[in-house]
Amino acid sequence: MKHDQVMNVAKKRGFLWSSFEIYSGVAGFVDYGPLGAILKNKIMNKWRKYYVVGEGFYEIESPTIMPEEALKASGHVDHFTDPMTECKDCMDVYRADHVIEEHTGEDVEGLENQILTEKISENKIRCPRCGGHLNKVWNYNLMFQTLIGAKGKKIGYMRPETAQGIFIPFKRLLRFFRNKLPFGVVQLGKAYRNEISPRQGVIRLREFTQAEAEIFINPQDKSHPRFSKIKEYKLNLYPASSQMGDKKIITLTAHEAHKNEIVSSEMLIYQLYLAQKFLRELGIPDNVLRFRQHLPTEMAHYAIDCWDVEVKTDRYGWIEIIGIADRSDYDLKSHSDYSSEDLKVFMEYPEPVNIKKTIAKPNMQKFGPAFKNQAPALMKFLEETDSEEIKKSFQTNGFFEVELEDKYQILPEHLEFEEVDETIRGEKIFPHVIEPSFGIDRIVYSVLLHCFNQEEDKNYFQFATDIAPVEVSVFPLLNQEDLTSMAQDIKDKLRELGFIAEYDSSGTIGRRYARSDEIGVPFALTVDHESLSSDTITIRNRDDSQQIRIPIADIPTILLDLKESKIEFKNLKSLYGDL
RNA sequence: GCGGCUGUAGUAUAGUCUGGUUAGUACUUGGGCCUUCCAAGCCUACAGCCCGGGUUCAAAUCCCGGCAGCCGCACCA
């Protein structure tokens, strides 16, 4: 299987291996080795180039440990869990709600554990496997818990996603962006999930790296300013309707996807486009990519629309590497509720609106004495209440009842109704959030898998020039003093100029080319005898073993142009001629 | 988390059933020789029985536990 060969080379040549090996390892953790770490960083920097430079989003960095309150608000403390139950006899563990649903057909999702436990005993549900008794229902929370501070009273969790770190300082971010939508903020970093049994190598890690962008937009306007530029761009879509129907992947242009309402907004389609362009430049071809829409049943309740970018693998089938979701205003709303901070944005209308409006104004001489210290709270409540509703209640009941800590009856004599002209310049709204969320480790894996090339006697990573960990190899043709010293000098010079260059003189030249190819070094410079007399050197292309002789003085510019794809290797030929 | 199978240098393996010499081989890697362009050859070196306990005069080998990997179930996105 290609997977096995790739992981083998990856381990052997220092890209990736499982962590803590000398202590037998722990499932769900990996080390990136010397080359893997560079590769991963280059991929992350390319991501930054796309989202920070290209899209104009800004990057922030927030802690990986978060206090319990914050994750209560996001719903992770209560909902990032599974209700589990264990058979007392065979010790098998089950999802409690699934067992009950299977037995009774009742939808019990989201019910308290106690109620689930009761349901199990009421319905005399037994272990589906052995018929044994099932234990009390407990929550398995996927978050790693820790204690903050010396006394350890404050519960903290390792963050399960980087996104929350962006929602929490929303007010400061909004100020930074001078109170105007839309704007985007990104974060790249580690996230943690204590998976029950991670067995899919780098696909399911307990500690993994995410790159997430949170794009805050006006819910009324999910268009994208550059949509017209990408409207002919083709996307391989696998919408929910196809998944439930003919299982066919359909190829549509961005425009068609929008017109036919396959994808819910321009903004979302633009994000799909961007993701695909990014992956393509990483060397993941379109034919192993698809965009799969979440089924209504699997979508989080707050999401409006959600698409996974999936990559085809021989080992794991289609795997999700990127999730692109319209999360609506869910996150900001719940942080608003929990923190009682106002996380709304004031949206100014294009034209101010003048309206006539009846307001209920308290008659303080009567209102104050009647409600005493509750008066301020009641006034605030009335301000937020539609005065028509109050009027109606007066007509039918003779009073208007307000329930705060107690119930209060407001009588007509307490209020005066007044007609006022009001100019409304805008309104405060919660922005909606479009979130592309990249699983960096899975992307690194996909790059390794799909860049790996097998030709007769040559196995190598065909990395794009801008993500190849080692950028250039420098060899002496033979292991002779005059050649080696020149090659060493060239290598040092290139290092000084910022290239990741490697020198190698061991074994035959062929072996060195092979070694260099295997780890995906795109170019090799070879010092031969002609170099000594003519100040030229041969440059060899990894992908086709072609060589061209170039002046030594031109090496840095040529390498840089090749790295940034400003020129292709085959075009060098017309500039410098054949070897 | 449960059940089955598996675990020997960096990699691939022999040896395990039937306990007994210095754990063998190939590739890789380091050093050297040779070599005027694609894993050649020669010399040489480094490197291993997953961890812990038990049985035994003696354990890579038998037994128990742990850990990890694979497969199935369950779980997860």
DSSP A80-96: SEEEEEEBTTT--EEEH
Residue pLDDT tens, chain A, 579 long: 788 889 888 988 999 988 888 887 888 899 999 999 999 999 999 999 999 999 999 999 999 999 888 888 888 887 787 777 776 665 566 667 766 766 666 666 666 677 777 777 777 777 665 566 777 777 778 888 888 887 667 888 999 999 999 999 998 899 899 888 899 999 999 999 988 778 788 888 999 999 999 999 999 899 999 999 999 999 999 999 888 888 889 999 999 999 999 999 999 999 999 999 999 999 999 999 999 999 887 777 778 899 999 999 888 889 999 999 999 999 998 888 888 788 888 888 877 787 777 777 777 777 777 777 777 777 777 766 777 788 888 888 888 888 777 777 888 877 777 777 777 888 888 999 999 999 999 999 999 999 999 887 788 999 999 999 999 999 999 999 999 999 999 999 999 999 999 999 998 999 999 999 999 999 999 999 999 999 999 999 999 999 999 999 999 999 999 999 999 999 998 888 765
A538 touches strand B (CB under 7 A): yes
A552: CB within 7 A of chain B nucleic strand: no
Closest nucleotide over all strands to A537 (CA to C1'): B37
Residue nearest to nucleotide B67 (CA to C1'): A24
A529 strand B contact, CB < 7 Å: yes
C-alpha separations of A318 from A235, A305, A315, A322, A573 in Å = 17, 20, 9, 12, 41
- Which residues in window 390-449 of A are less than 7 A from strand B by Cβ? none
A426 CA vs B15 C1’ separation (Å):
83
Rounded distance in angstroms from the CA atom of residue A538 to the C1' atom of nucleotide B46: 35
Q: What is the pLDDT of residue A87?
A: 65
Query: Distance between alpha carbon A221 and the CA centroid of its chain, in Å?
Result: 23
Q: What is the spatial distance between Cα A324 and Cα A263, in angstroms, rounded to a whole number?
A: 11
pLDDT computed for residue A389 by the predictor = 80
Say whether A251 sits in a helix, a strand or coil.
strand
Give the distance, in angstroms, between the CA of residue A500 and the centroid of all CA atoms in the same chain.
29
Interatomic distance A22 CA / B58 C1' (Å): 28
Question: In angstroms, rounded to a whole number, what is the distance separating the alpha carbons of residues A507 and A254?
Answer: 53
Question: Closest residue to B41 by CA to C1' distance?
Answer: A508
Task: Using the structure, give the distance in angstroms from the CA atom of A458 to the C1' atom of B24, rounded to a whole number.
Answer: 30
Classify burial at A126, counting beta carbons within 10 Å of its beta carbon; exposed 0-12, middle 13-18, buried 19 or more: middle
Nearest to A144 by CA among A69, A85, A64: A64
A197 CB inside 7 Å of strand B: yes
A89 touches strand B (CB under 7 A): no
How do beta strands A458-461 and A16-18 pair?
Answer: unpaired
Q: What is the pLDDT of residue A400?
A: 84
CA distance A549 to A537: 5
- With a 7 Å cutoff on the CB, does A518 touch strand B? yes
Encode A199-209: b = buried (16+ Cβ within 10 Å), e = exposed.
ebbbbbbbbbb
Confirm whether any atom of chain B, the nucleic acid strand, is less than 7 Å from CB of A82: yes
What's the half-sphere exposure (Cβ side, CA atoms, 13 Å) at A434? 24
Greatest CA separation found in chain A? 108
Residues 6+ apart with CB under 8 A from A527: A474, A475, A476, A477, A483, A486, A487, A490, A537
Length A324 CA → B29 C1' (Å): 45
Q: How far is the CA of A78 from the C1' of B41 (A)?
A: 68
Q: How far is the CA of A315 from the C1' of B18 (A)?
A: 40
Strand B: positions under 7 A of a protein C-beta atom: 1-2, 7, 10-12, 28-41, 50-51, 66-71, 73-77
pTM for the structure as a whole: 0.86
Tens-digit pLDDT profile for residues A274-297 = 999 999 999 999 999 999 999 887
**Is there contact between A317 and strand B, defined as CB under 7 Å from any strand atom?**
no
Q: In the structure, how far is the CA atom of residue A522 from the C1' atom of nucleotide B9, in angstroms?
A: 32
Alpha carbons A189 and A45: distance in angstroms, whole number: 12
Nucleotide nearest A95, from its CA to each C1' = B75
Asked if strand B comes closer than 7 Å to A18 Cβ, the answer is yes
Q: Name the residue closest to B66, CA to C1'.
A: A24
Which tokens in the block code for residue A217? Answer: 């937009």
Q: Is A169 helix (H, G, I), strand (E, B) or coil?
A: coil
Establish whether the CB of A509 is closer than 7 Å to any nucleic acid atom in strand B: yes
Per residue in A226-265, is it b (16+ CB within 10 Å) or e — as a string? ebeebbebebbbbbbebeeeeeeebebebbbbbeeebbbb
Position A29, amino acid? F
Alpha helices in A340-461 (DSSP H): 364-371, 375-383, 387-397, 440-451
Query: Is the distance from CB of A60 to CB of A185 less than 8 angstroms?
Result: yes
Element (H, E) at A577: none
Measuring from the CA of residue A294 to each C1', which nucleotide is nearest? B77
A239 touches strand B (CB under 7 A): no
Q: Nearest nucleotide (C1') to the CA of residue A201?
A: B69
Q: How far is the CA of A369 from the C1' of B40 (A)?
A: 106
- How far does the CA of A366 sit from the C1' of B53, in Å? 86
| Omega prior to A182 cis, within 30 of 0 | yes
Tell me which protein residue sits closest to nucleotide B31, measuring alpha carbon to C1'. Answer: A506
Helix (H) or strand (E) holding A259: helix A254-259
Please give the helix or strand (H or E) that residue A346 lies within, else none: strand A345-362
Protein-nucleic contacts, chain A 113-142 to strand B, CB < 7 Å? 129, 142
User: Distance between CA atoms of A177 and A561, rounded to whole angstroms?
Assistant: 36
pLDDT at A342: 85
pLDDT in tens, A452-493: 998 877 889 999 999 999 999 999 999 999 999 999 999 999
Identity (one letter) of the amino acid at A74?
Answer: S
Q: Where are the beta strands (DSSP E) in A27-90?
A: 30-32, 58-59, 65-67, 81-86
Separation CA A263–CA A325 (nearest Å): 11
What is the C-alpha separation between A96 and A109, in angstroms, rounded? 10
Place of tokens 């530029």: A229
> What does the block give as tokens for A356?
């006539």
Q: How far is CA A206 from CA A202, A359, A407, in A?
A: 10, 56, 51
**CB count, 10 Å around CB of A424?**
11
Q: Which two tokens stand for residue A203?
A: 């696909």
